[in-house]
Amino acid sequence: MGGATDDGASAVMEGGPEPMSKNALKKLEKAKKAAEEKRAKEEVKKAAAAAAPKKAVKAQQAEDDEDMDPTQYRNNRLRALGEQKEKMKNPYPHKFHTSISIPDYIKEFGSLADGDHLEDKAVSVAGRVMSKRASGGKLMFYDLHADGLKIQVIAQSNYASVSEEDFAKTHASVKRGDIVGINGFPGKSKKGELSIFVKSIELLSYCLHMLPKTYAKGGKDHAEKSLEKKLSEVAIDSEDNKVAEQWHPGASRNLDRYVLKDQETRYRQRYLDLMLNSDIRNVFKTRSQVIRYVRRFLDDRDFVEVETPMMNMIAGGAAAKPFKTHHNDLNMDLFMRIAPELYLKELIVGGLDRVYEIGKQFRNEGIDLTHNPEFTTCEFYWAYADYDDLMRVTEEMLSGMVKEITGGYKIQYHSNGLDQPAIEIDFTPPFRRIDMIKGLEEYSEGKIKLPESLELLESPEVNKYLIEACEKFDVKCPPPQTTTRLLDKLVGHFIEEQCVNPTFIMHHPQIMSPLAKWHRSIPGLTERFELFVNKHEVCNAYTELNDPVVQRERFADQVKDREKGDDEAMAIDENFCIALEYGLPPTAGWGMGIDRFTMMLTDSQNIKEVLLFPAMKPHEDVIEPPVRAADDVAS
Amino acid sequence: MALGRHICFAKSSACLSSPSLSFLSTAAHFLQPPNLFFSHKSVKSPLAMLARVSHVARFPGFRRCERSLLHSIRCNASSSAPQTSEKPESKNSRNPRVSEGGRRKKSAEVDSTSSREDIRTLRLKKVEDLRAGGFEPYGYTWDRTHTAAELQKQYVDLPSATEANEEKDHVAVAGRIIARRVFGKLAFLTMRDDSGDIQLYCEKAKLTDEAFDQLKTLMDIGDFIGAKGTMKRTEKGELSVLVGELSILTKSLLPLPDKWHGLTDVEKRYRQRYVDMIMNPDVATVFRDRAKIISEIRRHMESLGYLEIETPVLQGEAGGADARPFVTHHNALGQDMYLRIATELHLKRMVVGGFERVYEIGRIFRNEGISTRHNPEFTSIELYQAYADYDDMMNLAEEIVEKCALTVNGSLSLTYQGTEISLQRPWKRASMHSLVEEVTGINFASFGDDIEAAKNAAVSFFAGHIERHDTGTILKAPSIGHLVNEVFEMVVEKTLIQPTFVMDHPVEISPLAKPHRSKPGLVERFELFVYGREMANAFSELTDPIEQRSRFEAQVRTHNAAMAAAAEAAKAKGDTALTSAINDAYEVGMDEDFVTALEYGMPPTAGMGIGIDRLVMLLTDSASIRDVIAFPVMKSQ
């Protein structure tokens, strides 16, 4: 190749790996400066290149040109694909045997000395080509990405098992984004970059689209590209071959630095997000770790994981609008579950003393920063335990999880948006505890006082008092203004705002908690708590109401609220009440939103950041090639 | 702990907190004269009854002792009832063993609504009585020191007629009373918890007189209780907790059925799974095994470096399989959505994104009829591995099933519904064509494109066959590939009892699989069959976006043609049939976004789906999918 227009070549020559400094800031400054200088340099070069006649390398075809129109680029690649098929060559091989994964490769050969080659050691690896640079017609460099890591690929015609002409041809056919398999031997470049020296390379899967770049064209973009490169190197420890800056759970993320920034594209085409933005892989690994930790925590305590139905005749166990569907064969309407609670408690009635379920719940509600129509929860139920036990276990589980996943109890979180500094959230146990009713009085500085006898909470006087309180403090509570809803809003205003570090808000009034057991010593309240972190509810738990008579009364109260227009009040589940009549032992139950907790650990302000495929508004057309998105970013 | 508020029958002063005392005096008021109660003197020998229970209760597990336990429950449920005045008419019942037949009839009466209501009313009265005495019949917590199984294990060497009452032998247990025998100064309760059963030995001498009377009057079979005491093995060898303190933790209101398995309404077992579980501990064992199987699969996948991810249930397009999806509507988006019928297309997107080994264990939804093998929602694992092919998947399938079998059964041979099945590797591998030829003698590959000739051959095979088959589907087959598959399903499937990989399917029925590297017209795919049932489905994944698009288009065409034909046929039968055909019709869409993802390049990949419910059925010898799903979908009552 070696076309003078190949800006990649100059990049590798000049911007090759350098010894890393620990001082990131200093490095950043230096990088910026270097970028400025290089920008000037490259502009000169580019001008010279444009002036010089192009070398007549056969393989050097227009499709190399990153400036090409995306449609034309795709057509060219389709043509190349078609040519392969015509020649009866399978462009999509069935199998490529890899002898070693990239992470293992780095582990095994990372300690080679600079310039060392192990020519007798045959290895085969595979991955995606994320950059390609040529240095003359006989030397090619690639970055090969796999498993979130990368190695350099060095193709030199004298090592290759084919003729020079074939060498050039083969490498001309490999484009950025393609999946390739490589047979070769390990070694390190003189500059110390771990590489594989190519004996043969096989194209395993074509990338028909031009991958988005922030530096597609123009002098300014060149500078950006170099800067990008420098920036990523700042954080790279060259020894562990991280693809780019190394984000880890609990640290703050810098979305501004992403190659692919357009949110729509990132969420709709998550695979591009994963390919181009190296943090993302780690974000979803973190999600997986959260779930795995919870599972192991409960398994270790002899809880049995079960599966309860996602489609029910009645959507019970929570207050939310359900999705409705229809079973044709049975000619029966079904609702998607909004919570697994009632079924899990039925299993406790059945004698499984410790059960849990990690799974999807569905709520037919609006989509916003913390709500997706389907989301993942963990609920567990524990016979003979109460809410006190649950608070202890919650502290143990969450602080243990944060410690294991992030390495410490404190995490960084952009609580006030990406343009504000990140705050620190401290999961060191024990967590703060705030009594709801007392807290309301305390945090309103005595301005909200509820009656001494909390059993009176349901009276019309209290309702009137709360309506006035909401008006007074400018707390919005759209109708219906039931006491439950008013209290909820006031608590949100006065108490939840105080809960940045993990805090239990406890002892909710009975009217707010139809499934929780009345407090053993404070009339009118329940043995319930919610855990708030960063002002958001993460856990909800209580000693379970197991008196069937009282449960029926509570359901009846909910029905009254429904009649008042609160369509989020719970429906009565007669089957559940009957189950209670067979006897539910004293039981403590607990639920946690996995998505929200993952958001904390991944510095995500939008729930879509932690869902691989978040629900999106329908879009009319087929996905546009994301080049456009990249252009947006570049412009 | 709120013991003070429970009924507390302890002699120890510590437990006789003031509410307890006041209760005892108040509640005494509610006591009915003892002579109203059924006296157990008519029972030939209380110890004889104990003996029957004893041989079972020594084993911590349930598996071996189900029947005898049930038997004891049955006896005790009825013999104890009179003491609680719930069933005065059975006062004359004698030794349960003798009068079992008669008792059955009586039990049926108990099951009838009116007596259920009576019992409920009576027990509600007991709840009131307890509260009036200052006791909460729905306790808050109980600090248990041991489960029943732990005690059975720990005291396995305790000789008969011996007590262990040192400091370390003070135990606290909790569970449901499943049997209850009360004599003059002695009462035996059989308590069941999650792990097994343990007897509670309640001596009047160890409790106060009043407390002992409480036990008689307010405690019923079905109640949850907590007990504290020391250990004792009875003269007959029954390990027991020698009770010093007893609390009702939850008062049950409804009586447990005493002949659950004799119910004519088998469905009730599924509708009220918790009752099924209380009465038959084996049911819970299946769910525990299910959890173990899934956990083992997870462990295995993780050991291979697979990452578990979650893909959406609600989708704009239901792809990855040809099945009628459930439709729902998202209000805020103003958009219809489908429940996923497979996780395939989203998982493959993640392979494109660079996750080389991913899997998802999750719920799949298909809007189809229910049967012993089908529930509208079921659980599957789908897994994808870059740089692997379907050969690798066959090995993986063997490994996974083998690990699961060893985890729950400790053996690779198992009996499923009376049939011996060996999971010993390697499993038979044969192509679909050769299996069909083995049974029918027809080599469908020999017909080339001549579908009519192929159909004729198939029809004449069935004509000469003893079994009657509906050859309608054969005549309707739109391609030789479909035809081979039809014939396979009709005659071969049921013969595949031992684990068999059926390989190399026709391309027409496999829109997501890669063309076979050497056999034209076929794909690199396999289905795993055991006991005539499909357990797994896997392929070398199709990675060519151009071909994927045309396969999807062909699939849509075939599907629409079939739907149109069905509508046409229905039209002839009249309006009702037509309406129902239209209702039954569903669309197969094309997931353009998925094809776009392929255009970005997916590495050579192999993928596999395994039906977890069916795997659990096989490994737990469960006849119906409803036996392995805690709450199966039931017709509305």
Instruction: Establish if B322 belongs to a structural domain.
Output: yes
A355, B273 in Cβ contact below 8 A?
no
- Which of A 23-52 lie inside 8 A of B, CB atoms? none
Could you say which residues of chain B have pLDDT below 70?
A: 1-114, 259-265, 466-469
Ranked by mean pLDDT, which of A82-86, A134-138, A291-295 comes out on top? A291-295
Q: Which residue has the tokens 């409920």?
A: B120
For residue A226, the distance in angstroms to the closest alpha carbon of chain B comes to: 25
What is the structure's pLDDT at A40? 60
Cross-sheet strand order for the sheet of B377-386: B307-308, B357-365, B377-386, B605-611, B533-540, B525-530, B500-503, B428-431
Same domain membership, residue B412 and residue B342: yes
Q: Span A247-253, mean pLDDT?
A: 92
Q: Could you tell me which of B1, B178, B224 has the C-alpha nearest to residue A584?
A: B224
Which one has a higher pLDDT value, A65 or B194?
B194
pLDDT in tens, B207-251: 877 778 888 899 999 999 999 999 999 999 999 999 999 989 999
Q: State the total domains in chain B.
A: 3
Chain A CB contacts of B144 under 8 Å are: 384
Mean pLDDT of A281-301: 97
Q: Domain residues for B332?
A: 277-427+498-543+604-637
* A91-121 tens-digit pLDDT: 999 999 999 999 999 999 999 999 999 999 9
A311 touches B at CB < 8 Å: yes
**CATH code assigned at B368:** 3.30.930.10
More reliable by pLDDT, B162 or A4:
B162
Across A8-22, A336-350, B418-432, B475-489, least confident range: A8-22
Say if residue B229 is in the same domain as residue B342.
no
Do both B282 and B160 map to the same domain?
A: no
Torsion of CA B461, B467, B469, B471, to 10 degrees: 10
Q: What pLDDT shows up at residue A426? A: 97
What confidence score (pLDDT) does residue A590 get? 98
Interface test with B, best of A205, A210, A270 (most B CBs within 10 A): A205
Residues B154 and B47 in one domain: no
pLDDT at B316: 87
Cα separation of B438 and B484, whole Å? 13
Across chain A, what does the average pLDDT equal?
84
Q: What is the 3-state secondary structure (H, E, C) of A7-19?
A: HHHHHHHHCCCCC
* Bridge partner residues of B361 (DSSP): B381
Q: Is A314 on the interface with B (CB under 8 A)?
A: no
Which stretch of A74-78, A143-147, B280-284 has the lowest confidence by average pLDDT?
A: B280-284
C-beta atoms of B287 and A177 within 8 A: no
Q: How confident is the model at residue A318 (pLDDT cuts 50, 70, 90)?
A: confident
- Second CATH level (architecture) for the domain A282-431+501-609: 2-Layer Sandwich (3.30)
What φ, ψ does residue B552 adopt, rounded to 5°?
-60, -45
My answer on whether B190 and B244 are in the same domain is yes
pLDDT of residue A160: 79
Same domain, B291 and B413: yes
Residue B170, CB-side half-sphere exposure with 13 Å CA sphere: 5
Helices B451-463/B480-487 angle, 10° precision = 20
pTM of the model: 0.83
Please check whether residues B75 and B207 belong to one and the same domain: no
* Higher local confidence (pLDDT), A180 or A157: A180
| Model confidence at A238: pLDDT above 50 | no
A367 to B287: CB separation less than 8 angstroms, yes or no: no
Same domain, B517 and B635: yes
At B6 the pLDDT is: 35
* CB-based contacts of A28-31 (< 8 A; 24+ apart in sequence): A28/A230, A28/A231, A28/A234, A30/A230, A31/A227, A31/A230, A31/A231, A31/A233, A31/A234
Residues pairing with B623 in the sheet: none
Task: Quote the pLDDT of residue B469.
Answer: 64
| Better-predicted residue by pLDDT, A19 or A376 | A376
Fold of A70-205: OB fold (Dihydrolipoamide Acetyltransferase, E2P) (2.40.50)
| pLDDT in the model for residue A633 | 36
Is A88 or A225 the better-scoring residue by pLDDT? A88
Lowest mean pLDDT among A481-495, A525-539, B258-272, B478-492: B258-272
Question: Measured between CA atoms, how close is A539 to chain B, in angstroms?
Answer: 21
User: Is it the case that residue A246 has pLDDT exceeding 60?
Assistant: yes
The closest CB to that of A612, out of B275, B276, B350, belongs to B350
Last residue of a domain, one of B38, B53, B82: B82
Last residue of a domain, one of B237, B262, B287: B262
Three-state DSSP state, A23: coil
Confidence band of A27 (pLDDT split at 50, 70, 90): low
pLDDT of residue A33: 64
* Set of chain A residues whose Cβ sits within 8 Å of the Cβ of B329: 323-324, 364
Query: What pLDDT, in 10s, does the model give residues B534-574?
Result: 999 999 999 999 999 999 999 999 888 888 888 888 888 87
User: Tokens 């609220």 map to which residue?
Assistant: A561
| All residues at 6 or more sequence positions from A355 whose CB lies less than 8 Å from its CB, including other chains | A303, A304, A305, A306, A344, A347, A348, A380, A381
List all residues 6 or more positions away from B55 whose beta carbon is below 8 Å from its beta carbon.
B65, B68
Dump pLDDT digits (tens) for B114-146: 688 899 999 999 999 989 888 899 999 999 999
Percent of chain A at pLDDT exceeding 70: 81
Query: What distance in Å separates residue A351's CA from the closest CA in chain B?
Result: 6
pLDDT, tens digit, 9 for 90 and up, residues A395-445:
999 999 999 999 999 999 999 888 899 999 999 999 999 999 999 999 988
Compute CA distances A492 → A433, A497, A591, B384, whole Å. Answer: 16, 7, 19, 44
pLDDT of residue A61: 44
Q: How many pairs of residues across A and B have Cβ atoms under 8 Å apart? A: 334
ipTM: 0.83
Asked if the C-beta of A285 comes within 8 angstroms of chain B's C-beta atoms, the answer is: yes
Is the model's pLDDT at A196 over the cut of 80? yes
A261-272 pLDDT, tens digit each = 899 999 999 999
In a domain, B138, yes or no: no
Instruction: Give residue limits of the domains in chain A.
Output: 70-205, 282-431+501-609
Mark whether B385 and B415 lie in a shared domain: yes
pLDDT more than 90, % of chain A:
61
Is B369 strand, coil or helix?
Answer: coil
Residues in B closer than 8 angstroms to A78, CB to CB, are 546
Which DSSP state fits A511? G
B510 with B627, same domain? yes
What does the alpha-carbon distance between residue A593 and residue A612 come to, in Å, rounded to a whole number? 16
